[in-house]
A and B are shown apart, each in its own frame.
Chain A
Amino acid sequence: MMKLYDYILSPSCYKVRLMAALTGVKLDLRAVDFHPGLEHRGPELLALNPAGSIPILEDGDLLLTESSAMLVYLAAKAAPGWLAGSDAEEAARVQQWLSFSGRLTASLGGARLHEMLLRPGDIGVLQSQGIAALRELELGLVEQAERGKRFLAADRPTVADIACFPYVALAPDGGVSLDPYPAIRLWSRALRSLKGFIEMPGIHRLHELKPEPQLEAGGA
């Protein structure tokens, strides 16, 4: 079985758990004492990942330390429909958002670690970079809607959506509001209603408290 070095509160680890749940893959979870123990910076984990970050995924000889690669691996093994199809533009968009997701980790993820777990950082800079990334994502989704597509790279969810979703959904933990982004909220609802969707603390299952935001094609 694939082994995931995991932390229940880590959005990057949650990406991998979520992808596995959506594609029906079972993971052997190895809990890492990220907080307060900083186990990811201890000798055992640094030997696996010198970058000192989690998640880490092991499958036989394969050792991965980048969540985007883990999503691709899970999808390729169990559910290739989550990868880009043969269309060049779609393939490029998947890759574009997979890389972009690193900016969400650095900005919104950094703001969340600062505000919640007291990690050092310049909160003003982290939040404004997070807001810039959210605006870019909102625009990307509005443009996709104009093309008649509900997700970041296609009209079906792909690994790109899973790579971007967790840090976006948890932006309020870092003091960044999602109120200004109706397309992001609609996209978040679509992802949260997927069959097999799982939660993490701070990302709630879909309930009908709030009405759906309306998004007109061609509107802002």
Chain B
Amino acid sequence: MTVGPMLDEWYPVGIFGQLDEAGRKTMLMDEPIVVARDGNGDAKVTDSSGRILPVRVRYGHVWTSLGEPKKELFAIPEADQPGRRFVDVGVVRVRCSPLRAVENFLDIAHFPFVHTDILGAEPHTEVQAYKVEIREDVDEVWATQVQFYQPQAAKSASGGITTQYMYRVAGPTSTVLYKTCPPRPSEWDVITLFVQPLAEDLCDVWPWMALFDDDTPMTDLIHFQQTIFLQDRSILENQVPRLLPLDPGMEMPTRADLTSVAYRRWLKRHNYTYGAQLVAQ
């Protein structure tokens, strides 16, 4: 399997605050790399031949690329907004395709069944109509006007509310969601899933959040998100087939996973197929 155009994209490879000079040995798309802090305190990423890879430090994490990125790392303007708290949730390894990890994050229909009594609850299983588009100017997938009833939308929510969502695919394995911020109705909470593809069927997932919540202790914010992600993990590890099918006919689209259909179409258009299964016609 050749990596193809995904080679030139940016990927998260560690929490910046946890780097040391000894470095962290890890993988990026089957290539061994080392992520370290150099003598000046800057992040440094090298591949197995000692080549220094491009580096960005953003959103609490270190980003790199095995190729030559044609675009700057995507922007999250909320990351510079005063008053937000930034949460490094910590890595979780999942034995699944990196693309499947993103797709699951985009799918709202699983909330009542997988995140029962937190992000969803029966009988409120209906996903209302929403809007999905590929924004050509920024080359991103966006889903907007998504609404869902949630028993406990955030650590800061004190009861059930109808939550508004926007979903965004900002890179082949980077996705950002915006959701109703219970203490500040005029703002969005930002929750991301940054996925480091280790192999086509193995990934390290680095969730990160930028929230308005002055009251909840940091550890509780971390544990809220880890709880949710761990509920997904066992589902992800049991998905069949392991790789994400990129033939549009293979899995029946319902209204609930229009975003997934758009994501798959966008992956196909860019030939982003590392972690995908192309169905021969």
- Which A positions have Cβ atoms within 8 angstroms of B? 7-9, 31-33, 35-37, 39, 115-118, 172-173, 175, 201-202, 205
Binds A, one of B66-74, B215-223, B252-260: B215-223
Distance in angstroms from A102 CB to nearest chain B CB is: 24
A39 proximity list for chain B (CB < 8 A): 219
- The answer to whether B184 has its CB under 8 Å from any CB of chain A is no
CB pair A118–B93 under 8 Å, yes or no, is: yes
- Asked whether, in the complex, the Cβ of A33 is within 8 Å of the Cβ of B222, the reply is yes
**Is B230's beta carbon under 8 Å from chain A?**
yes
Q: Is the CB of A115 within 8 A of B93?
A: yes
- Please indicate which of the listed interface residues A8, A32, A172 has the most CB atoms of chain B within 10 Å of its own CB: A8
Given A8-B226, A117-B93, A201-B227, does the pair A37, B204 have CB atoms closer than 8 Å? no
Q: What sequence of 0s and 1s flags, for each residue 168-199 of chain B, a beta carbon within 8 Å of any chain A beta carbon?
A: 00000000000000000000000000000000
- Are B226's CB and A202's CB within 8 A? no
Inter-subunit contact B93/A31 (CB<8 Å): no
Q: Which of A33, A36, A116 contacts B233 (CB 8 A)?
A: A116
B219 engages A37 (CB within 8 Å):
yes
* Interfacial chain A residues near B227, Cβ < 8 Å: 8-9, 201
Bound Cα distance from A201 to B225, whole angstroms: 11
In the complex, chain A residues whose CB is within 8 Å of the CB of B219 = 31-33, 37, 39
Asked if B92 contacts A116 (CB within 8 A), the reply is: yes
Q: Which of A33, A175, A201 makes the CB contact (< 8 A) with B230? A: A201
Interface string of B66-109 (1 = CB under 8 A from A): 00000000000000000000001111110100000000000000
For the complex, give the distance between the alpha carbons of A118 and B27 in Å.
Answer: 13
Instruction: Select which of B15, B218, B234, B237 is within 8 A of A33 by beta carbon.
Output: B218
Chain A residues near B222 (CB-CB < 8 A): 33, 36-37
Distance in angstroms from A218 CB to nearest chain B CB is: 33
In the complex, chain B residues whose CB is within 8 Å of the CB of A9: 223, 226-227, 230
Hey, which chain A residues are within 8 Å of B93, CB to CB? 115-118
Interface, chain B (partner A; CB < 8 A): 15, 18, 88-93, 95, 116, 204, 217-220, 222-223, 226-227, 230-231, 233-234, 237
Question: Which residues of B lie under 8 Å from residue A31 when comparing CB positions?
Answer: 217, 219-220, 223
User: B234 to chain A: which residues have CB within 8 Å?
Assistant: 172-173, 202
Cα separation A35 to B234 with both chains bound (whole Å): 19
Jot down 9 A-B pairs with beta carbons below 8 A, ordered by A: A8-B227, A35-B226, A36-B18, A36-B90, A37-B222, A39-B219, A115-B95, A117-B90, A173-B234
Residues of A within 8 A of B92 (CB): 116-117
Q: B226 to chain A: which residues have CB within 8 Å?
A: 8-9, 35, 201
Distance between B156 CB and nearest chain A CB, rounded to angstroms:
16
Q: A9-B227, A173-B233, A202-B234 are in contact. Are A117 and B91 (CB under 8 A)?
A: yes
How near does chain A come to B32, taking the closest CB pair, in angstroms? 15
Among residues of A, the one whose C-beta sits closest to the C-beta of B229 is A201
Q: Is the CB of A118 within 8 A of B95?
A: no
- Report B-chain residues with C-beta under 8 Å of the C-beta of A36: 15, 18, 88-91, 222
**Closest residue of chain A to B218, judged by CB?**
A33
- Cα separation A37 to B219 with both chains bound (whole Å): 9
**B residues near A32, Cβ cutoff 8 Å:** 219
Q: Known interface pairs A9-B227, A36-B88, A36-B91. Does A202 touch B218 (Cβ–Cβ under 8 Å)?
A: no
B89, B218, B234: which has the most chain A beta carbons within 10 Å? B234
B91 touches A201 (CB 8 A): no
Cα distance A205–B231 when bound, in Å?
12
Contacts of A201 in B (CB 8 A): 226-227, 230-231
Chain A, Cβ-Cβ closest to B232: A201
Contact A202 B230 (CB under 8 A): yes
Question: How far is A205 from B220 in the complex, measured between Cα atoms in Å?
Answer: 23
Give, as a whole number of angstroms, the nearest-CB distance from A46 to chain B.
17
A1–chain B nearest beta-carbon distance, Å? 18
**Whole-angstrom distance between the Cβ of B199 and the nearest chain A Cβ:** 14
Which residue of B88, B204, B220 is within 8 Å of A118 (Cβ)? Answer: B204
